[in-house]
Amino acid sequence: MGRPETAVSEPVPRDRGRVIVEAVTPEVDAGRFPIKRVVGEVVEVEADVFTDGHEHVAAALWVRAPGDPRTREIPMDPRVNDRFGASFVPESEGRWAYTVVGWLDHYATWRDGTRRKVEAGQDVAVDLRIGARLVGDAAERAGGGDALALQDASSALAAGDVGPLTDDALGAIVARWADREPIARHSRTLEVVVDRAIARCSAWYEFFPRSTGPEPGRHGTFADAAGRLPDVAAMGFDVVYLPPIHPIGVTYRKGRNNVTEAGPDDVGSPWGIGAAEGGHTEIHPALGTLADFVAFREAAEGLGLEVALDLAIQCTPDHPWVREHPQWFRHRPDGTIQYAENPPKRYQDIYPIDFDTDDWEALWDELLAVVLTWVERGVRIFRVDNPHTKPFHFWEWLISAVKAIDPGVLFLAEAFTRPKVMHRLAKLGFTWSYTYFTWRQTASELREYFTELTTPPLVDAFRPSAWPNTPDILTEQLQHGGRAVFVQRLVLAATLSANYGIYGPAFELCENRAVRPGSEEYLDSEKYQLRRWDLDAPHSLRELITLVNQIRHAHPALRLDRSLRFHATDNDELLCYSKTSPDGDDVVLVVVNVDPHHRQSGWIQLDLDRLGVAPDHRFDVHDLLGGARYAWQGTSAFVELDPHVTPAHVFAIGRPSRSERDFEAFA
Amino acid sequence: MGRPETAVSEPVPRDRGRVIVEAVTPEVDAGRFPIKRVVGEVVEVEADVFTDGHEHVAAALWVRAPGDPRTREIPMDPRVNDRFGASFVPESEGRWAYTVVGWLDHYATWRDGTRRKVEAGQDVAVDLRIGARLVGDAAERAGGGDALALQDASSALAAGDVGPLTDDALGAIVARWADREPIARHSRTLEVVVDRAIARCSAWYEFFPRSTGPEPGRHGTFADAAGRLPDVAAMGFDVVYLPPIHPIGVTYRKGRNNVTEAGPDDVGSPWGIGAAEGGHTEIHPALGTLADFVAFREAAEGLGLEVALDLAIQCTPDHPWVREHPQWFRHRPDGTIQYAENPPKRYQDIYPIDFDTDDWEALWDELLAVVLTWVERGVRIFRVDNPHTKPFHFWEWLISAVKAIDPGVLFLAEAFTRPKVMHRLAKLGFTWSYTYFTWRQTASELREYFTELTTPPLVDAFRPSAWPNTPDILTEQLQHGGRAVFVQRLVLAATLSANYGIYGPAFELCENRAVRPGSEEYLDSEKYQLRRWDLDAPHSLRELITLVNQIRHAHPALRLDRSLRFHATDNDELLCYSKTSPDGDDVVLVVVNVDPHHRQSGWIQLDLDRLGVAPDHRFDVHDLLGGARYAWQGTSAFVELDPHVTPAHVFAIGRPSRSERDFEAFA
């Protein structure tokens, strides 16, 4: 029968392939963005791979290291329901590529069917001839010893020998030389940005170098600030983060407590960048010279601390760019430059950059140059101020360009803004993101939020950095909860999130005075004045902070986010969760009383499987904060926490050192 | 400051756009596949649209009808958290295209900020000049009356008039001529396959024309089968589906109850296609001529019934293609053609088509020609036998090619196979899919499965067709549950799923005899022999079937799947769910006792919001099966169902005819 006369259009092109590869994970926004991992962290890849009919399929993960033209192939194992899985461990920083391929496994299909016929006592003479041809074809594609082995097997099959049917080694050789055409390939090449290890786990300490002067009222220098470093290192932090260190503008400079008129001695906000002495690549003379900064950085590194700089893309009216590149600012019809505003609020001390400028490409180049200048000076972590007020595409381009030169340069997004905006910045390349942790305070809020953060899609693209306070944010809870709430928030930040930080002296000393009721601004904020901190005050949290960071260092379970699991409690004021190290050997269980005022008790319902404990086994729990040890058994455990003593347990879960039989022997 | 010496590579290209469009829904597999709707069914589109900073954004849905080069633009409304939404209603069949665009709304940003300054009593002289320029620029782009209105407004603003700030009509004109460059567009153009209405809701009746002979042992003809149609129509079905009507092979023909050797009078399986008289485009002589078939189809259509044909791509050894196109079959080294097998099982009466043939393009053309031949003969619904044993790409191409000629041609996939395979066939173009309903029997199984089917992503791509039985499947449950289980399964199929079907006479008459214990095959299956059915037997379900189909016709709520919602019950044997019509006016609540043996009672916990009932309002429920009426109030209701009387309530929910006050007046 011929085709009918009707002219047939074919909206879908013909494709001869019979294998389907789909639903590849991990994948962020259909591959639009890379996932995130660190060197040595496993990437578990899964995909649905299947064909029509009953033929066997095989699948492989293809992986390419940055700069390496070769593709590594890793066989994928069949799992349940047409899902295949394999993993790889990136051993270097940079953008790795991966995808999944699948093909018909003709030999496996033939071998399986023929074996079943043999088992059923059927005549397989013709089947063996088919197999001989399959193996012979593979021999033609093969080289060296494989070719010989395949030729031998083909001859044996042709001669009616069923031996090759049970020869797994032969099966592997045939697989190596199998005809895979037409191979099916996932429609997208996926990427993983592989960072150095600190991206996965870090504890940050923020402080103002200028507040480290040797006497009241004297502006601290880098040399003074270096004196603070041994203490910060001793507390177990990994990163010291400094507010901007550039010359501070004088025009419309803000005074203490953010008053509009600065007094003659007022030091101004470090975020008011740019003065006669220079802009984003210069150093505030009162802090010292570039050499002083380098010495500070080296001192930090000598103590195992990395220095993070602030990157705030904004200018005072005194910034050199205002003269040199006036086209980068918005001009009003009256000839003035548009200052920052959020009507009716006005910020006349700040000129925002106009990213809509026609000279945008030169602007982008210059901003990239700023970052690269500091990279050349040894800075490899940037805390980016308000990235959400600059174009997303700019950041995606900038971060990729910097990381193409040095993949070890890392960026923390300070985007306290709407969720979609926050998530987009993470997806496009920011290493870490500040989070809503700061305002998530009830057990249910924390449970819901951290569940979202530690499950796909966010877990693959968004690395939370939990901060209980910042120089901009003294929450109502910290203002009114007393010391207990500082302890509680520290434990939560440091154990819920592998990356966390504190605005240091203020947090250590439980500073809780707001500039006025209803405000989250600190009274006498260091943003606008020098502060002297009595770091040896008896109420300092230094010892607790040190202990918490020691626990983080000793327990790999706490050094990643992905394994977080919440356990049910029967008291809404108790939050219970566990984390497990990738090898399963280290398990930490945390219980926090989130009520800073009252003793709370209740039963927790343990997911023993997540804790790696058999239902009928006794197991030891050791409170790393308080030192107590308990032997627990079963899914229920009773806890009681007094916020005025310590509002949390951080338990290491011990495997039973003896079998249950031993216990019985002693009973 | 210049750029450093380092040569900078830019792995991510520069992009000046500032607006982001992402997370567009509905979208199947990142736009790889179209969604499904019917003519007149709303398509609700949502997307995240946002920008950096604080500027206003605007978003629009772009829609293109099939064959229409023009793009319609529908403004999208802002919803919560940067999400925008709009909808369109496709008015014709075919592949519609849609996508989402977004842009900076400079005028809205300016207007909002300036109004806030005015309200704060600030000087806005310069702002009004900025506005004058914005509106003036729009005037230059505008034509006709709009240009004049914009020029006037621009002049007024330039003269210091704040009036335009509150002029919404002016705002709409400016929006019409706004500068949208660079506009952001979702990276993918999405498609919706729009089918005729029957795709959304249909009741199918399957029967074997050859079993309608006027006397025992006489092969029925189309003329005989036409006599059955008034009864099928009277029961309220929409589609009569016939097993294959082609010449049946004689070589290796199977006998009664699928025995290997057929007797001389055995009629063979209709799925054994191909004989001396012809193949897939011919008609079995015992059924009549092509003219007889056309007369049958026309008789059906005269009764409001549509005829669905079976499309089974397989051949007997007697099929003309075996001679004419031997290259379409797999040849074994001994020269024989490979018959179907699932080792060690052998099906020597069937030659599967070898889709790996080098002559695959001619094969595809021929198979398309088969379908188009039947389309030309007036068939527009095909029930495709085992599509999962033919290549996915073939079906995607075939269905698209057929629908390019006639978008009203519909395909039902009989793929009782693994979930990923079943879902892929739906996504690539099958109108409907047989489902696991057949074996989902407990309340929790049904709840879980139909929740999956009626939520994204499946709800947009997979149209379930629920069948309690087929000629291949007499479930254990039907074998042993008695009449009650037939009633229960009918109600479930017809109310859980807008599309359902029965293998008619066997179901009507509660046929429950399997060929042997443990088998799902019918005893004396019509697949291999003629059967006479006593359709007037007293135990026939005809009246109940008629009633159920009447309820479906009267209640638009039951004629779609998307609104399905389960309500909690405190008895695991009771399944409770509701459906609501798109306008919200029709609400049906169903309660089924899934235990065919015992009376079950319990409390159902109603989601009143889904039922459209205020928490404090009394509402009427009218049992459409049993006729009883009740007045309910609140979220709890008690039900008791005896499977031997009737195992289900199908309630129409009535809005209260009087206000609560009226009730109080009577109290």
Contact B133 A333 (CB under 8 A): yes
E strand or H helix at B163:
none
**pLDDT mean across residues, chain A:** 95
Closest Cα in chain B, distance from residue A15 (Å) = 6
C-beta separation of B526 from B264 below 8 A: no
- Interchain proximity B343–A116, CB inside 8 Å: yes
What is the pLDDT at residue A667?
Answer: 35
Give the active site residues of B. Answer: 385, 414
Alpha-carbon dihedral sign for residues B649, B653, B654, B658: positive
CB contact under 8 A, A405 and B9: yes
Q: How far is B354 from chain A (nearest CA, A)?
A: 11
State the best of B33, B52, B105, B430 to mutate against chain A, taking most chain A CBs within 10 Å.
Answer: B52
Helix, strand, coil % in chain A, rounded to nearest 5: 35, 25, 40
Cα of A168 to nearest chain B Cα, Å: 20
DSSP state of A316: -
Q: List the single residue in B4, B281, B404 with the smallest CB-CB distance to A9.
A: B404
Write out chain B residues lying below 8 Å of A187, CB-based.
32
Q: What is the DSSP string of B23-74?
A: EEES-BTTTTB-EEEETT--EEEEEEEEESTT--EEEEEEEE-TT--PPEEE
Are the beta carbons of A52 and B9 separated by less than 8 Å?
no
Contact A272, A349 (CB under 8 A): yes
* Cβ–Cβ below 8 Å for B3 and A373: no
As a whole number, mean pLDDT of residues B592-606 equals 97
Q: For residue A665, what pLDDT is reported?
A: 39
Alpha helices in B469-605 (DSSP H): 476-480, 482-496, 504-508, 542-554
Percent of residues, chain B, with pLDDT higher than 70: 97
Q: What is the pLDDT of residues A364-375, one digit of tens each?
A: 999 999 999 999
Tell whether the model's pLDDT for residue A4 goes beyond 50: no
CA distance A223 to A284: 14
Mean pLDDT over B57-72 rounds to 96
Q: Cα–Cα distance between B361 and B353 in angstroms, integer?
A: 13
Contact between B1 and A368 using a beta-carbon 8 Å cutoff: no
Q: Which of B30, B343, B360 sits opposite A16 (nearest CB)?
A: B360
CB contact under 8 A, A332 and B122: no
CB A59 within 8 A of CB A19: no
**Chain A residues near residue B31 by CB distance under 8 angstroms:** 30
pLDDT at B8: 64
Cis amide prior to A26 (ω within 30 degrees): yes
Neighbouring residues of A632: CB distance < 8 A, sequence distance ≥ 6: A606, A618, A619, A620, A621
Number of inter-chain CB pairs under 8 A, A vs B: 220
Which positions in chain B touch A95 (Cβ < 8 Å)? Answer: 11
Of A12, A119, A400, the CB nearest to B397: A12
- State the Cα–Cα distance between residues B405 and B84, nearest whole angstrom: 36
* Mean pLDDT, residues B74-103 taken together: 97
What pLDDT, on the 0 to 100 scale, is given for residue A7? 58
Distance, in Å, from the CA atom of A170 to the CA atom of A146, rounded to the nearest integer, reads 9
Min Cα separation A18/chain B (Å): 5
Q: Is the pLDDT of residue B661 over 70?
A: no
Banded model confidence at residue B4, pLDDT cuts 50, 70, 90: very low
Alpha-carbon distance A226 to A341, whole Å?
37
CA distance A276 to chain B (A): 15
Residues of chain B with pLDDT > 90, as a percent, come to: 95
Residues of B in contact with A369 (CB under 8 A): 1-4
pLDDT, position A655 = 65
Question: Would the CB atoms of B418 and A48 count as touching at under 8 Å?
Answer: no
State pLDDT tens for residues B416-464.
999 999 999 999 999 999 999 999 999 999 999 999 999 999 999 999 9
Beta carbons of A400 and B12 less than 8 Å apart: yes
Distance CA B104, CA B179 (A): 8
Q: Which residues of A are catalytic?
A: 385, 414
* Mean of all residue pLDDT scores within chain B: 95
Q: Cα(first)–Cα(last) distance of chain A, in Å?
A: 86
Residue-level pLDDT at A9: 78
Residue A575: φ, ψ to 5° = -110, 130
Q: Identify which of A9, A117, A393 has the shortest CB distance to residue B343.
A: A117
Q: Do B368 and A3 touch (CB under 8 A)?
A: yes
Structure tokens at A271: 């975020």
The nearest alpha carbon in chain B to A416 belongs to B53
Short-list A492, A628, A477, CA closest to A548: A492
Whether B659 shows a pLDDT value over 90: the answer reads no
Question: Read out DSSP for B564-598?
Answer: -EEEEESSTTEEEEEEE-TTS--EEEEEEE--SSS
CB contact under 8 A, A405 and B8: yes
Q: Do A81 and B360 touch (CB under 8 A)?
A: no
Q: Which of B53, B117, B419 sits opposite A343 (nearest CB)?
A: B117
Hey, are the CB atoms on A370 and B344 less than 8 Å from each other?
no
Q: Is A278 left (phi over 0), alpha (psi -120 to 50) or beta?
A: left
Q: Which of A19, A32, A52 to mutate to test the interface with B (most CBs of B within 10 A)?
A: A52
Question: What percentage of residues in chain A have a pLDDT greater than 90?
Answer: 94
Q: How many CB atoms lie within 10 A of CB B629?
A: 12
Q: Is the pLDDT of residue A191 over 50?
A: yes
CB–CB of A54 and B13 under 8 A? no
DSSP string, A222-253: HHHHHTTHHHHHHTT-SEEEE---S-B--TT-
Position A387 scores a pLDDT of 98
Q: Which residues of A touch B390 (CB under 8 A)?
A: 52-53
- Which is more confident, B2 or A194? A194
pLDDT computed for residue B665 by the predictor: 39
Question: Are residues B3 and A369, on separate chains, in Cβ contact within 8 Å?
Answer: yes
Q: Quick one: A556 exposed, middle or buried, by C-beta within 10 A (0-12, 13-18, 19+)?
A: middle
A281, two tokens: 């690549």
Q: What was the pLDDT predicted at A663? A: 42
The pLDDT score that the predictor gives to residue A11 is 86
C-beta atoms of A281 and B1 within 8 A: yes
- What is the structure's pLDDT at A343? 92
Measured between CA atoms, how close is B108 to chain A, in angstroms?
Answer: 13
Show residues of chain A in contact with B341, CB under 8 Å: 113
pLDDT at B654: 87
Measure the CA dihedral B508/B509/B515/B517, to 10°.
Answer: 90
Where does B194-308 have alpha helices with state H? 222-226, 229-234, 290-302
Q: Is B171 exposed, middle or buried (0-12, 13-18, 19+ CB in 10 A)?
A: middle
Two tokens, residue A600: 């709370």
Q: How far apart are CA A473 and CA A478, in angstroms?
A: 10
Query: Which range (A276-290, A649-663, B361-375, B483-497) has the least confidence?
Result: A649-663
Q: Which two tokens stand for residue B328?
A: 């379409």
Give B418→chain A minimum CA distance, Å.
7
CB contact set of A486 (below 8 Å; sequence gap of 6+): A468, A478, A507, A510, A541
**Global ipTM:** 0.94
Å from B215 to nearest chain A CA?
37
Q: Which of B214, B197, B281, B198 is nearest to B247 (CA)?
A: B281
A368 → chain B, closest CA residue: B3
Give the model's confidence band at A619: pLDDT under 50 very low, under 70 low, under 90 confident, else very high: very high
B356 pLDDT higher than 90:
yes
Tell me the pLDDT tens digit for each residue of A561-594. 999 999 999 999 999 999 999 999 999 999 999 9
pLDDT confidence bin for B664, thresholds 50/70/90: very low
**What distances in angstroms separate CA B233 from CA A191, A200, B665, one per listed residue?**
58, 67, 49
Instruction: Give contacts of B356 with chain A, Cβ < 8 Å.
Output: 18
Q: A8 pLDDT band (50/70/90 cuts)? A: low
Rounded to a whole number of angstroms, the distance from the CA of A128 to the nearest CA of chain B is 10
* Cα–Cα dist B575/B183, whole Å: 50
DSSP letter for B527, please.
T
Using CB atoms, which residue from A332, A368, A388 is nearest to B52? A388
Question: Which one of B4, B122, B401 has the shortest CB-CB distance to A10?
Answer: B401
Res B9: pLDDT:
78
Quick one: pLDDT band at residue B11, thresholds 50, 70, 90? Answer: confident
Peptide bond into B34 cis (omega under 30): no
pLDDT at B144: 86
pLDDT at B143 (0 to 100): 83
pTM for the full predicted model: 0.95
Of B16, B372, B388, the CB nearest to A6: B372
Work out the burial of residue B584: count CB atoms within 10 Å of its CB; fewer than 13 is exposed, 13-18 middle, 19 or more buried: exposed
- Residue A431, Cβ density class (10 Å: 0-12 exposed, 13-18 middle, ≥19 buried): buried
CB-CB neighbors (< 8 A) of A12 in chain B: 396-397, 400-401
Mean pLDDT of A384-404: 98
List the single residue in A16, A126, A344 with the smallest CB-CB distance to B117. A344
- Phi first, then psi: give them for residue A321, nearest 5 degrees: -60, -30
CB B339 within 8 A of CB B249: no
pLDDT digits (tens, 9 = 90+) for A30-60: 999 999 999 999 999 999 999 999 999 999 9
